[in-house]
Amino acid sequence: MAGPAGVFERAEALRAGSYEVIIASVGGGTVATSGAIALGGTRALGELPAVCDTVLVAGGPEAALLAAAATDLPNWLGRTACTARRVGSVCTGAFLLGWAGLLDGRRATTHWRGCERLQALFPAARVDADAIHAFDGVYTSAGVTAGIDLALALVAEDLDDTVAAEIARDLVVYLRRSGGQSQYSRMLAAQAAASPRLSRVLQWTAEHLDQPIRISHMAAQAGMSERTFIRQFGKEVGATPGQFLTRVRVEHARDLLERSDWALDRIAERSGFGSIDAFQRAFKAMQGTAPSVYRARFTAAPG
């Protein structure tokens, strides 16, 4: 909730009259969150304007979602979707859109951990497990911070990219995040499965991609022999060190292709590839297309 609300609040400060942000709940009043924060003075659904412009449903843990599904919220969402300009969700709020019947026949996403469950509960939906956010009649977004990505996209849609970019700079986030959920979930899953010692190696690797990195360097960071490191890395990360290194180099290059106008040889160098040929071969093997083709495709459809 806080991320998107912050985006719209900043948009209002930059363009007065753009947004009035209302925090609502089923019954109104103070609402406890799953963390240490309570929301005071929320407005009851029955007190909202007859026609809302934009409605975003925040997600939460499974117990909270099930409790919300047992209220009038899904029915209210179904009715509101008929009159509101747009309805969407942040993270697992997509489940409430599903219970409201708003995902049938539509492309949607949610946090990567919940995508399989979302598809099982709402088989008529087309769940895209890799999307950061999606629009197909309703707006849905991935994990918690993807709510910021979605809100920035809505501001760019309503006002312009200049305002959205200014807000992104203020929040120290990308205007349009590169890649999809899988690139982040793979890294996060690897770190979550890894011991603290190997997790530090993964982080160190990601921070030194513009430098030559050998398995011996990674093993040294872990304080292990190469043989022990390779065995332990495969056990914890599920890939060889070389495979992991190539993947993060390609993902870094993909990010640079999307948000910079650098020449391919510079991108190859900054991503740690020994040559542009090595970069192009690795990129095509992982992405299924050449770097130049990927960049042209992204430039043609930046949203």
**Read out DSSP for 69-97?**
HTSSHHHHHHHHTTTSSEEEESGGGHHHH
CA angle, 60 as apex, 58 and 65 as ends, to 5°? 95
91 is catalytic: yes
Residues 104, 58 contacting (CB under 8 angstroms) = no
Q: Which residue do the tokens 């449903």 mark?
A: 57
Instruction: Measure the CA dihedral 299/301/302/303, to 10°.
Output: 180
Closest CA to 185 of 226, 142, 122, 227: 142
Active site residue: 52, 82, 91, 115, which one? Answer: 91
Distance CA 137, CA 135 (A): 6
Residues 297, 287 contacting (CB under 8 angstroms) = no
Distance CA 135, CA 113 (A): 20
Q: For residue 271, give the 3-state DSSP assignment.
A: coil
Q: Is 273 exposed, middle or buried (0-12, 13-18, 19+ CB in 10 A)?
A: buried
Which active-site residues does the annotation give?
91
